[in-house]
Amino acid sequence: MGILRLLIEAPIARSNELVLTSITAAVGQPSRFIVSNRSRRDHRLVTSSSNVIQQALLPALMSGADLGQLELVESTDEIRRVHPYALGIEPPRFRGSHIIWSVATERNSTGEHLQASLSKFGEKIAHYKVFDLLIQQLLIAAFQAKGRDGKVRVTVEFDSPAKDIVAVTLGERGRDH
């Protein structure tokens, strides 16, 4: 089992300086997490398809928590375990192109989904059905949070001309996204 020591042992950061700067969820893909030291000079992309891991790391992102350590699956960038951490007090600057104005749910004979209403600044609000569980979690977390200007912005990627949401990034947009 590998522990995320790239950031700890290489003289980049002490263990209590690791922070999660963004989470990206994409349809049919593992979620991508950017872990960085506090100065944001060095970072690493790690992944997970686990709903539990994403749920455990969302509060770390939203609060700016010091992560300490993440265990990785041997010889991969896949997260195996999130070690205990305490909530932080300074969330990152959430950068993105869209604001989530409302969320709703719908359940019918074919299943259930989240309906997210979002827009770019100054544009008309559009409504989207979201079926991917990990994308749903990020949209709900952003909707619940208060950013410095009242709303938390997310980066949203669409297939074809704004038809379906295929990826959402919450947090700082890094070069590994």
Distance in angstroms (rounded) separating the CA atoms of residues 122 and 49: 34
Question: Mind listing the pLDDT tens digit for each residue in 30-40?
Answer: 999 999 877 66
Residues 52, 160: contact at Cβ < 8 Å?
no
Question: Mind listing the pLDDT tens digit for each residue in 54-91?
Answer: 999 999 999 989 988 889 999 999 999 999 999 998 87
Question: Mind listing the pLDDT tens digit for each residue in 94-152?
Answer: 889 999 999 999 998 888 999 999 999 889 999 999 999 999 999 999 998 866 566 78
Residues 136, 167: contact at Cβ < 8 Å?
no
10: pLDDT strictly greater than 80: no
Number of neighbours of residue 171 by Cβ within 10 angstroms: 27
Please give the single-letter amino acid code of residue 152. Answer: V
Distance in angstroms (rounded) separating the CA atoms of residues 1 and 89: 31
User: What integer best gives the mean pLDDT of the chain?
Assistant: 83
The phi, psi pair for 175, rounded to 5°, reads: -75, -10
Q: What percent of the chain has pLDDT over 90?
A: 56
Model's pTM, two decimal places? 0.83
Distance in angstroms (rounded) separating the CA atoms of residues 132 and 167: 9
* 3-class SS letters over 141-173: HHHHCCCCCCCCEEEEEECCCCCCEEEEEEECC
